Amino acid sequence: MRMKRTGYNRSVPTSDLRARLQRLRPQKTTIETPTARPAPSAVDETGLPGREHLTEHGGFQLIEARYPLSQPHGHTHFGALLQHPSATVAKLAKAPPLASTPVQQLAFIDTETTGLAGGAGTLAFLVGVGLFEGDSFILRQYFMRQPDEELAMLMQLKQDLTAHSGWITFNGRAFDLPLLETRFNMNRQRSDFRQRPHLDLLFPARWLYRGRLASCSLNSLEQNVLGVARTDDDVPGELIPLMYVNYLRTGQTHEIRRVIYHNALDILSMVALAAHLLEVYTTADDGQRTAVKKRSPEEWLRLAEWHDREERLTEAEAAYRQALALRLSLEDRAEALTKLAALLKRTGRRAAALPLWEQLASFTADDALPCIELAKFYEWKAADMAKAQEWAARAEKIIKTMPPGWRKNEAQAAIAKRLERLRGKVG
């Protein structure tokens, strides 16, 4: 197909683009686990993979690949996601409607766009969709060869997703879904993309790995968690808008095929990430197999915090205790002890929290909290004023070392009042 002139004629020298790609190309990973590749697809006369798909609104390029559910991708396989109940998906997404939605009816969505900031002028020139169909996982990519093919692409996308009850994305809540809705609106078409229930994998991934990984980008999660290794065909996301402009300007397809590869791997890795997160966030009482030995101590701690935040206190307590039974860093151990002790106190089990506060006091010399909690326990529960006074005095020493400020002033006033009261009771 001969390339048409469009408004997207910004000049992007091919040599400059190649140089930037070389600078931004990531170092090769040493991961050796199997990574699913986009299935080889015949190219048409323009050099694009897939085929032209014609609709009543015009044509666009459609690329499709099919994978068996047993196909490995990193440390997992595509069918692993289907082993998890819808109720767990709903918990993870904080979307109750997903509890009654079969996982097979969820579609994965990822877009490649003409700009990274979004907005009314940004086009989604490539939309990747992943679907479960029978014993296969289907990867379908809708590519807009020219901006005037947008309506045809969007209407076919809408038709193909009619039977699907919800979405799984990576940062789709903030970017992909609002952008698609905007594009439908700009074409005077209705869309319910943002109304259907949705699991955005970025948020549980960030919760689980914050502070442990330098980045919680999908590429970082692939390398450090999922065991997925991309080939040199991949391209940095920040260059994708320029590559599309270059494609529109020159008609050359080499770089755009790399964008199509990038989008395909995003979809395939979202399936692996969803399966991994559900494995981590699944607990034994869900009636599913759990991989206790596969979870790291830090994952147990994050799982406990998640349950704690959602007021699932029985599950939270069990996960905190599992984390503490493993080899945590000193900082994470202090965090786990503090949060488990707070949970026990909150549920009226102060005596059970006592050994946890004592452990904290033994190795956190700069934190007055465990000493204050012990002083409270011995004053009000054990009626041992001497011990209460001893712990309050230790807390006072720690507070004196705090940097100046209102927090220190408040803490000093509170502990001085407590010590005065205890001296009166002892004397």
Encode pLDDT of 232-280 as tens digits.
Answer: 999 999 999 999 999 999 999 999 999 999 999 999 999 999 999 998 8
Give the closest residue to 176 by CA, choosing from 161, 194, 190.
194
pLDDT in tens, 181-219: 999 999 999 998 888 999 999 999 999 998 889 999 999
pLDDT of residue 221: 97
pLDDT of residue 177: 96
pLDDT of residue 46: 83
Give the closest residue to 323 by CA, choosing from 287, 350, 295, 346.
295
Q: What is the largest CA-CA distance in the chain?
A: 97
Alpha-carbon distances of 247 from 22, 54, 68, 265, 416, rounded to whole Å: 18, 21, 33, 21, 72
pLDDT of residue 236: 94
Element (DSSP H or E) covering residue 316: helix 313-324
Give the ranges where 58-149 is alpha helix by DSSP (H): 86-93
Alpha-carbon distances of 240 from 108, 141, 254, rounded to whole Å: 20, 16, 13
The answer to whether residue 418 scores a pLDDT higher than 70 is: yes
pLDDT of residue 210: 86
| Domains detected in the chain | 44-282 (3.30.420), 302-424 (1.25.40.10)
The answer to whether residue 13 scores a pLDDT higher than 70 is: no
pTM for this one?
0.83
Determine contact, residues 236/247, Cβ cutoff 8 Å: no
CB atoms within 10 A of CB 361: 21
pLDDT of residue 364: 84
CB atoms within 10 A of CB 325: 10
Alpha carbons within 13 angstroms on the beta-carbon side of residue 204 total 30
DSSP string of 174-189, one letter each residue: IIIHHHHHHHHHHTT-
Alpha-carbon distances of 144 from 58, 96, 288, rounded to whole Å: 11, 35, 42
Determine contact, residues 427/385, Cβ cutoff 8 Å: no
CB atoms within 10 A of CB 6: 12
pLDDT of residue 70: 96
Q: Please provide residue 374's backbone torsions phi and psi, each rounded to the nearest 5 degrees.
A: -65, -40
- Give the model's confidence band at 3: pLDDT under 50 very low, under 70 low, under 90 confident, else very high: very low
The helix/strand/coil state of 385 is helix
Determine contact, residues 131/119, Cβ cutoff 8 Å: no
pLDDT in tens, 110-144: 999 999 776 778 999 999 999 999 999 999 999 99
pLDDT of residue 44: 80
Of the candidate ranges 63-77, 145-159, 270-284, 408-422, the one whose mean pLDDT is the lowest: 270-284
Q: Residue 269 corresponds to which tokens in the numbers above? A: 């890795």
Question: What's the CA gap between 328 and 217, in Å, rounded?
Answer: 25
The answer to whether residue 40 scores a pLDDT higher than 90 is: no
Question: What's the CA gap between 196 and 93, in Å, rounded?
Answer: 12
pLDDT in tens, 49-96: 999 999 999 999 999 999 999 999 999 999 999 999 999 999 999 999
pLDDT of residue 280: 87
Q: What is the DSSP letter of 27?
A: P
Q: Residue 410 corresponds to which tokens in the numbers above? A: 């408040």
pLDDT in tens, 20-30: 545 444 444 44
pLDDT in tens, 281-323: 875 444 444 444 468 899 899 999 989 998 999 999 999 999 9
Question: What's the CA gap between 237 and 257, in Å, rounded?
Answer: 14
